[in-house]
Structure 1
């Protein structure tokens, strides 16, 4: 059995993105297998889901130990996603290879991802403009970094429906356990902090992907050699990405989410690798310049500066009349 080291390296890089942002697994891994390594689409979907069934628990365990998971959200999402994920595999088999259905789903996902990325940028600007220079400088223009987890009120029925739709799409295409459900969670729970958004999505994806993976092992085109190469890279990659996500500032994660949303949307629209790379470079360069101008227009420095205004715990101001013997009180 031949082991593909290049495939393992690609899986490692994608898994870092998955651990950091909670998304991009199916939206990046499956296209990588088909475009760069010539893996047949059904084989790519099956092998990706089986490897994700092992990879996802690694990243979610890091977030679970650090408390960046909303367990009630996870429970309601799984109530909808687990049964429909298995049914999605059966539906894909009933439709043949499902290429036309997959094309329609990919276009719809691309539109949703672009809307979500735009929404993140707009919310960041509104928070910066309304929160005042002090908060904007502290949060680097990112929304709701300090939102309290208690402020999130779970909505059971809409959450379960999101899980059901996400599970069906994942079972058919392997895409959506991160991208589609993250988009829906952003819309349903705008007060959910970035770290908890990533942690919650990673944990809910575990039983979802297990269900879909079981269906593909039984009815799909699972290949052990492809899965082993994916696992060799994805397990350390998702661990490192999750560790960085659980420690990183919420603002940094939200900008990473916006970047991955854009990249995934371009891939869903079928943009080739070289044009996509130039588009992402242009987006980063143009976005950075535009954001700097917006900060300046709102009375802030072009780039967030390190805070030096917080007093040191030892630098407590004292009255000279009490401590300085050279000052005689009147």
Structure 2
């Protein structure tokens, strides 16, 4: 067993448990860029590992009542056949380097979209806080809000998310949850995560079955991922109440964007330059956005002020 891969799986599991972000957006590019795993094998192995992991987290949300079953059903109507179809599309292109190149580039595009989605998600949460603080938004209800399901757009989200998961293993936990936030802003954060996680179970199982049918899975890769990420995700969930996930998510957004550039074939020099520019620009831009909404420029200033008020 590859102990290095096992250790990386633990680390990624911690990040997933800490931030609620889907592991495919981190694990698959890590396998491709740092472990030299062929893109299609990386995608299939990660999907199979996700199929083994997600039911445990789903059970927690079902037990806590943080699942909107109407939305789960609508998403599954689109995502399950689309996930299976995504695998078929990859193989329809034929064996050999063409498929690997297509999957690698598709993964790069999806990672960039996911990184932008994380930025949109952070902005919406900050705006929600500002509106609640200024009294421009109604207080959040204590009970789970009833939302009116929108069948057609929800099924379309399921189709697009399922297709991306089948092709790249990325989509559940990143792309789908962003779309749910836009369609159903009344849902609590716990409901967003719970609904997305539960609908992801049949989604990744469908994609995993398709990959197993085609013999894409490398068990020497999948088993260390499962053994490492499950306890890592549990540890991350325990740490989530002690460590701010916002900073981690913003860092992940930068990492995903840069990884997407690398997978799209951008030279190492430009990837490195892009990393430096993104760190500086994103820090200044996010601080300016916070300041324009009446918050401190940096998060640590806000926490320090809160501690001083409490004392």
Q: 2:165 is matched with which residue?
A: 170
Structure 2 residue 192 is the aligned partner of structure 1 residue 197:
yes
Match of 1:267 among 259, 264, 274: 259
Is 1:89 matched with 2:90?
A: no
User: Could you tell me how far 1:262 is from its partner in structure 2?
Assistant: 4.0
Confirm or deny: 8 A CA contact 1:80 1:163 kept in the other structure.
yes
Cα deviation 1:177-213 (Å, max 9, x = unaligned): 2222122212212232222222222221111111111
- Evaluate the alpha carbon distance shift between residue 59 and residue 240 of structure 1 in structure 2; reply closer, same or farther with a 3 A threshold: farther
1:199/1:158 CA distance change after superposition, 3 Å: same
CA 243–65 in structure 1, closer or farther in 2 if over 3 Å, else same: farther
Q: Quick one: structure 1 residues 202 and 280, their matched pair in 2 at CA, closer, same or farther if it must change by over 3 Å?
A: farther
RMSD between aligned alpha carbons? 3.7
Which of 235, 238, 242 in structure 1 is aligned with 2:233?
Answer: 238
Is the Cα–Cα contact under 8 Å of residues 15 and 233 in structure 1 kept in the other structure?
yes
- Cα pair distance change 1:297/1:175, threshold 3 Å: closer
Distance (whole Å) between structure 1 residues aligned to residue 261 and residue 87 of structure 2: 23
- Can you give the 5+ residue segments of structure 2 that lack an aligned partner in the other structure? none
Q: With the length of structure 2 as denominator, give the TM-score of the two structures.
A: 0.79
Report if the CA contact (8 A) 1:152-1:189 is conserved.
Answer: yes
Are the structure 2 counterparts of residues 5 and 275 from structure 1 closer, same or farther at C-alpha, using a change threshold of 3 Å? farther
**Equivalent position of 2:128 in the other structure:** 127
Q: CA deviation at 1:104?
A: 5.4
- Contact 1:163–1:181 (CA under 8 A) maintained in structure 2: yes
Unaligned runs of 5+ in 1: 137-142, 311-330
> When the two structures are superposed, what TM-score results if normalisation uses the length of structure 1?
0.75
Cα distance in 2 for residues equivalent to 1:20 and 1:55: 16
Matched length: 299
- CA radius of gyration, larger in: 1
- Residues 57, 203 of structure 1: 8 Å contact kept: yes
